[in-house]
Chains A and B, each alone.
Chain A
Amino acid sequence: ETGVTQTPRHLVMGMTNKKSLKCEQHLGHNAMYWYKQSAKKPLELMFVYSLEERVENNSVPSRFSPECPNSSHLFLHLHTLQPEDSALYLCASSQDVGDEQFFGPGTRLTVL
């Protein structure tokens, strides 16, 4: 509906697993974002990419590793996560950094 898709929609993983979240935008936007939304907390910006270049990393632990191979795709590689990393991970895109953002449906992650 919004032109931003995310897979998988749900993910359960153990602390020793490695998994990746995928985001794709079909809007021709130049900027893409990863957010984390935990229960009862505001959205937290994790990473910002502009034209495939990372322009912001908000002190995110290294167990989260983003990748932006082109302006339409964004990945979040997960490794050795902790139970407190369980949250809704949202991808968004905007025409340029600072413009209105459009969100994907999110990946609901549970770390056991």
Chain B
Amino acid sequence: RKEVEQDPGPFNVPEGATVAFNCTYSNSASQSFFWYRQDCRKEPKLLMSVYSSGNEDGRFTAQLNRASQYISLLIRDSKLSDSATYLCVVNTYNFNKFYFGSGTKLNVKP
């Protein structure tokens, strides 16, 4: 079983739509969680950390569900510029182990 799993998509949504991605992780001892976005042929860029109580940054909301071992990312009022691949990152109890998901591709269309 993979450490981190994501639906590869693509998710094709119109501008203004709300879209949500989930990411499941296998190690219950995982301690920190992040969402990154990666544009084509570019480096990953930190979108937001994911806190236990959930957190929001503008149109983006991240949630953590430890019982079911998944994190989610909700994007409201999608913009064309949100088109990218969204990567889920999980850091296990051993701080030296970072696992990236394969990413979920989002296409926002006019």
Contact = CB atoms under 8 A, between A and B. Distances in A.
Interface residues of A, number: 20
Of A40, A103, A104, chain B has the most CB atoms within 10 Å of the CB of A103
A33 B103 CA distance: 20
A102 B4 contact: no
Interface residues of B, number: 21
Interface string A69-112: 00000000000000000000010000001101111111000000
Interface of chain B, main secondary structure: strand
B97 A100 contact: no
B42 A98 contact: no
B4 to A, nearest CB: 7
Interface string A8-23: 0000000000000000
B60 interface: no
Interface of B: 4, 31-32, 34, 42-46, 49, 87, 91, 95-103
